[in-house]
Amino acid sequence: MLWEENMVSSVTRLAAGLAAIAGVASFLAVGPALAQSSVKIGYALSRTGPNAGGAAVTTLPNYEMWVKEVNAAGGLKLGDKRVPIEVVQYDDRSSAEEAAKALDRLITQDKVDFILPPWGTGLNLAVGPILNKAGYPHLASTAVSDRAPELAKRWPNSFWLLGTGAGAANTLVELLVKLRTEGKIGDTVAMVSVADGFGIDLSAAARPALAKANFKLAYDKTYPVGTQDLSPLVNEAKALNPDVFIAFSYPPDTLGLTEQARIAGFNPKIFYTGVGTAFPLYKGKFGANTEGVMGIGGWNGDSPAIKDYLARHKASSANGAEPDRWASSVTYASLQMLQQAIERVGKIDRAAVIKDLQTGTFDTIIGKIKLENNLPTKYWWVGQWQGGEFYGVGPATNEGARTPIVPKPAWKAQ
């Protein structure tokens, strides 16, 4: 999830901001008291700048909801008493330097007990060394990087919960192969991708995978970040009449491509778009037309834990916003993991918490999690909107995987 991180951010940087002021307000209650009176948790998130759109949907509502829930229950359970969480937060202004500075401040000046990670691949990579050096657990839940296994090895305190771009592309191709074997689709594929981190990684992984599976890649083009009219791409793809349309796109493009496909009456059997497909905004904008649209992410929408999470998220966040159906649940699960690890250790001992995260089993809203080499063993890579919910359909072996609706129903006039 790297969209827009490389965009012209220098102009949009907002000076320290409201978030920082709110965060600094919590200076007083510290003191090296013998009995811990609060657990200090710090985070720097992109409240402004190009990353703000993603952080506001996926990360911030989960952090806030988790803190609220834990404190409502009396706090984190350390030994035999409950200790409330105290939050220190900053705005990283979507910039790696700012994120690094904010984390330094959290560590050396605010002396927080634990740090929650920033939003996005780029910033998580940027703060990795800092958290590693200071010995804080780093539960990266919004970073997709092909280097995740290598990073987990280099920084044993880091946990890469969203997986690799290659995983996303390969799972998609596996699903296509299965559908072709079932005779539901042919073998013509049109692919477009955004010329930025996410699009480059995933299309680079998809190309060889598609070729190996003998798919015919009839159209394969990239477009620059921030392209405001994507109709030429959709029209070109439509003219080739492909069975499968794949877009490794960022949220504004995901919405733009879907809109344009609907306008142009482009109805491939499989319509797959990238980041943003799982956003509540997508459902809000396209309504019944989302039926059958595939995209990156997904979750087990039938599981009671997920249904309960969805309801709590709606009740907790501003304007009753829903979570996104990909990294949101993973983010919340990462907080549950952190909480369970802290409570099992029973005191603020970061090394022991890291150890517990590496080896323990965790009961989360996305099921039981036991990490292997600091990485989960299961991911949701392909989701599909079915009856207003974005269900995971791939990998098909995941618990709760739905059977995909293929072909996608034709777009309806709105």
Partner 1 sequence: MTNAIFTGLMLGGMYALIAMGLTLQYGVARIMNLSYGEFLVAASFASYWLFTGWALNPLLGLAIVVPIGFGVSMILYRVLLTPLVRRAPTRDALEVDSLLATFGMMFIVQGIMLTMFGGAYFSYSFLSIPVTVFGETLALNRLIAFGLAVLFGLALYLALTRTRFGTAIRAVAVDPSAARLVAIDVTSVSAFAFALGGGMVAAAGVLVSMFLTFSASSGVIFTMKALMVVVMGGVGNLLGCLVAGLALGLSESLVATFVDPGLTLAVNFALFLGVLLVKPAGLFGRAQR
Write out the residues near partner 1 by the rule CB under 8 A: 7-8, 11-12, 14-15, 17-18, 46-50, 52-53, 55-57, 94, 192, 195, 221-224, 226-229, 231-233, 235-236, 251-252, 255-256, 259-260, 262-265, 276, 279, 281, 284-286, 318, 321, 413-414
Q: At what angle do helices 304-316 and 327-345 cross, to 10 degrees?
A: 100
The DSSP-derived string for 274-343 is: -TTTTSHHHHHHHGGGGTT-EEE--B-TTSHHHHHHHHHHHHHSGGGPPPPSSHHHHHHHHHHHHHHHHH
Q: Which is nearer to partner 1, 265 or 346 (CB)?
A: 265
Q: Which is nearer to partner 1, 248 or 286 (CB)?
A: 286
CA–CA gap between residue 363 and residue 360 (Å, rounded)? 10
Q: Which is nearer to partner 1, 114 or 223 (CB)?
A: 223
Chain position carrying tokens 């010995």: 135
CB of residue 406 vs partner 1: minimum separation in angstroms? 24
**Do the beta carbons of residue 270 and residue 176 sit within 8 Å?**
yes
Q: Which is nearer to partner 1, 138 or 283 (CB)?
A: 283
From 88, 69, 66, 70, select the one nearest 22 (Cα to Cα). 88
Q: Which is nearer to partner 1, 66 or 286 (CB)?
A: 286
Handedness of CA 175, 176, 177, 179 (dihedral sign): positive
CB of residue 243 vs partner 1: minimum separation in angstroms? 21
CB of residue 101 vs partner 1: minimum separation in angstroms? 19
Handedness of CA 208, 170, 215, 263 (dihedral sign): negative
Q: Which is nearer to partner 1, 160 or 286 (CB)?
A: 286
Position 400: which residue type? G
CA–CA gap between residue 388 and residue 284 (Å, rounded)? 10
Q: Which is nearer to partner 1, 260 or 334 (CB)?
A: 260
CB of residue 6 vs partner 1: minimum separation in angstroms? 13
CB of residue 328 vs partner 1: minimum separation in angstroms? 12
Q: Within 10 A of 117 (CB to CB), how many other CB atoms are there?
A: 30
Q: Which is nearer to partner 1, 57 or 294 (CB)?
A: 57
CB of residue 132 vs partner 1: minimum separation in angstroms? 28
Cis peptide before 395 (omega within 30 of 0): yes
CB of residue 194 vs partner 1: minimum separation in angstroms? 10
CA 165 → CA 65, 171, 198, 379, distances in Å? 29, 10, 8, 12
CB of residue 381 vs partner 1: minimum separation in angstroms? 23
